[in-house]
Structure 1
Amino acid sequence: MSDEQKSGGPASGQVFDIAILKRLYDFVRPYQGRFYGLVGVILLGAALAPITPLLIRQTIDNDIAGANYGGLVMMLSVMVGVLVIQAGVQFANTYLSGWLGQHVIRDVRVQLYDKILSLRLKFFDNTPIGRLVTRTISDIETLADVFSEGMAAIAGDLLQLILIIGVMFYTDWRLALISLSMVPLMLLSTYVFKEKIKASFNEVRTAVANLNAFVQEHISGMNIVQIFSSEKIEAEKFRVINDVHRKANIRSIWYYSIYFPVADILAAAGTGLVVWYGARQILNEQISFGTVTAFVMFINLFFRPIRMLADRFNTLQMGIVSADRIIKLLDSDEYTVNNGTHAPANLRGDVSFRNVWFAYNDENYVLKDVSFEVKAGETVAFVGATGAGKSSIINLLSRFYDINKGTIQIDGVNVEEYDLKSLRRHIGVVLQDVFLFSETIERNITLGDPTISREQIIEAAKLVGVHEFIMRLPGGYDYNVQERGATLSVGQRQLISFVRAMVQNPRIIVLDEATSSVDTETEELIQEAISKLMRGRTAIVIAHRLSTIQKANQIMVVDRGEIKEQGTHEQLLQLEGFYANLYRMQYKEMA
Structure 2
Amino acid sequence: MSRKYRRPHTTFVESKELYLRLLKHVRPYWQVFALAILFIVILALTEPAIPILMKPLMDGAFVEKDETYMFWVPIWLLLLFLIRGVSNFISRVAFQWVSGMVVLDLRREMFERILTLPVPFFDAHATGNLIAKVTYDVTQVTTAATRVLIILLRDSLSIVGLLGYMVFLNWRFTLVVSIMLPVMLAFVRFISARMRRSSRELQETMGEMTHALEEATRGNKIVKVYGGENYERRRFFKLANWVRRYRFKLKVADATSVPVVEFIGAIMIAVLIYLGTGQVDNEAMTVGEFTGFFTAMGLLFAPIKRLTAINQPLQTGLAGAESVFNLVDEVPEKDTGTRELTEVKGAVRFEDVGFRYAQAEGDALNGISFSIEPGQSVALVGPSGSGKTTIAALIPRFYEPTSGHIRIDDIPLDEIRLGSLRSQIAYVGQESILFNDSVAANISYGASEPPDRETLEAAARAAHALDFIRELPEGFDTMVGEDGVRLSGGQRQRIAIARALLKDAPILILDEATSALDTVSERHVQAALQNLTRNRTTLIIAHRLSTIENADVIMVVSQGRIVESGAHQELMARGGEYAHLYNNQIVLDEKKVKSESE
- TM-score band, normalised by shorter chain: over 0.9
Rounded Cα–Cα distance in structure 2 between residues aligned with 1:6 and 1:166: 43
Rounded Cα–Cα distance in structure 2 between residues aligned with 1:222 and 1:524: 29
Deviation by residue 1:262-286 (Cα, 9 ceiling, x = unmatched): 3333323433332343233699673
What SS does structure 2 have at the residue aligned with 1:509?
strand
Q: 1:92-111 counterparts in 2 under 5 A?
A: 92-111=90-109
* Matching residue of 1:384: 382
AA matched with 2:174: A
* Matching residue of 2:506: 507
* Matching residue of 1:157: 155
* Matching residue of 2:338: 341
Rounded Cα–Cα distance in structure 2 between residues aligned with 1:165 and 1:219: 57
What SS does structure 1 have at the residue aligned with 2:431?
coil
Runs of 5+ consecutive residues of structure 2 not aligned to the other structure: 591-598
* Matching residue of 1:430: 428
Q: 1:498-537 counterparts in 2 under 5 A?
A: 498-537=497-536
CA drift of 1:67 comes to 1.5
* Matching residue of 1:113: 111
Distance 1:12 1:3, change over 3 A: farther
What SS does structure 1 have at the residue aligned with 2:261?
helix
Kept after mapping to 1: 8 A contact 2:195/2:316: no
Kept after mapping to 2: 8 A contact 1:58/1:290: yes
Are 2:347 and 1:350 aligned? yes
AA matched with 1:557: V
Distance 1:396 1:498, change over 3 A: same
Rounded Cα–Cα distance in structure 1 between residues aligned with 2:279 and 2:297: 18
CA drift of 1:184 comes to 4.6
* Matching residue of 2:414: 416
Rounded Cα–Cα distance in structure 2 between residues aligned with 1:199 and 1:536: 60
Distance 1:28 1:7, change over 3 A: farther
Kept after mapping to 2: 8 A contact 1:139/1:322: yes
Runs of 5+ consecutive residues of structure 1 not aligned to the other structure: none
CA drift of 1:352 comes to 0.9
What SS does structure 2 have at the residue aligned with 1:566?
strand
Kept after mapping to 2: 8 A contact 1:15/1:317: no
AA matched with 2:168: Y
Kept after mapping to 1: 8 A contact 2:113/2:328: yes
* Matching residue of 1:544: 543
* Matching residue of 2:444: 446
What SS does structure 1 have at the residue aligned with 2:369?
strand
Kept after mapping to 2: 8 A contact 1:379/1:540: yes
Distance 1:135 1:588, change over 3 A: same
Deviation by residue 1:277-333 (Cα, 9 ceiling, x = unmatched): 323369967311111111222122222222112332332222222222222211212
Kept after mapping to 2: 8 A contact 1:200/1:252: yes
Rounded Cα–Cα distance in structure 1 between residues aligned with 2:301 and 2:247: 26
Rounded Cα–Cα distance in structure 2 between residues aligned with 1:425 and 1:26: 36
Distance 1:262 1:108, change over 3 A: same
Kept after mapping to 2: 8 A contact 1:460/1:502: yes
Deviates more, 1:441-450 or 1:377-386: 441-450
Q: Let me know the Cα RMSD of the aligned residues.
A: 2.3
CA drift of 1:417 comes to 2.3
CA drift of 1:258 comes to 3.2
* Matching residue of 2:596: none
CA drift of 1:13 comes to 4.5
* Matching residue of 1:482: 481
Deviation by residue 1:202-238 (Cα, 9 ceiling, x = unmatched): 3322321221121122222222221210101211221
Kept after mapping to 1: 8 A contact 2:200/2:320: no
AA matched with 1:360: Y
Rounded Cα–Cα distance in structure 1 between residues aligned with 2:392 and 2:12: 45
CA drift of 1:70 comes to 2.0
Kept after mapping to 2: 8 A contact 1:191/1:310: no
Kept after mapping to 2: 8 A contact 1:274/1:292: no
CA drift of 1:48 comes to 2.3
* Matching residue of 2:223: 225
Rounded Cα–Cα distance in structure 2 between residues aligned with 1:330 and 1:257: 34
Rounded Cα–Cα distance in structure 2 between residues aligned with 1:6 and 1:488: 46
CA drift of 1:2 comes to 6.5
Rounded Cα–Cα distance in structure 2 between residues aligned with 1:268 and 1:72: 32
Rounded Cα–Cα distance in structure 2 between residues aligned with 1:77 and 1:2: 63
CA drift of 1:41 comes to 2.9
Of residues 385, 390, 393, the one that matches 2:391 is 393
Deviates more, 1:550-559 or 1:191-200: 191-200
Rounded Cα–Cα distance in structure 2 between residues aligned with 1:106 and 1:442: 29
AA matched with 2:578: Y
Rounded Cα–Cα distance in structure 2 between residues aligned with 1:162 and 1:318: 27
CA drift of 1:385 comes to 0.5
Q: 1:83-482 counterparts in 2 under 5 A?
A: 83-151=81-149, 153-180=151-178, 182-280=180-278, 286-333=284-331, 335-361=332-358, 363=360, 364-447=362-445, 449=447, 450-482=449-481
Query: TM-score, normalising length from structure 1?
Result: 0.94
Rounded Cα–Cα distance in structure 2 between residues aligned with 1:378 and 1:4: 56
Rounded Cα–Cα distance in structure 2 between residues aligned with 1:514 and 1:106: 39
Deviates more, 1:263-272 or 1:123-132: 263-272
Rounded Cα–Cα distance in structure 2 between residues aligned with 1:529 and 1:375: 22
Kept after mapping to 1: 8 A contact 2:494/2:528: no
Rounded Cα–Cα distance in structure 1 between residues aligned with 2:201 and 2:116: 30
Deviates more, 1:192-201 or 1:365-374: 192-201
Query: TM-score, normalising length from structure 2?
Result: 0.93
* Matching residue of 2:588: 589
Rounded Cα–Cα distance in structure 1 between residues aligned with 2:296 and 2:568: 93
Kept after mapping to 2: 8 A contact 1:434/1:494: yes
Rounded Cα–Cα distance in structure 2 between residues aligned with 1:160 and 1:568: 85
CA drift of 1:245 comes to 1.5
AA matched with 2:255: S
Deviation by residue 1:122-150 (Cα, 9 ceiling, x = unmatched): 11111011110111111110111112222
CA drift of 1:507 comes to 0.6
Rounded Cα–Cα distance in structure 2 between residues aligned with 1:259 and 1:219: 40
Deviation by residue 1:20-39 (Cα, 9 ceiling, x = unmatched): 23422331221122223333
What SS does structure 2 have at the residue aligned with 1:503?
helix
Distance 1:447 1:318, change over 3 A: same
Distance 1:332 1:4, change over 3 A: farther
Deviation by residue 1:26-63 (Cα, 9 ceiling, x = unmatched): 31221122223333333332222111101111222223
Identity %: 30
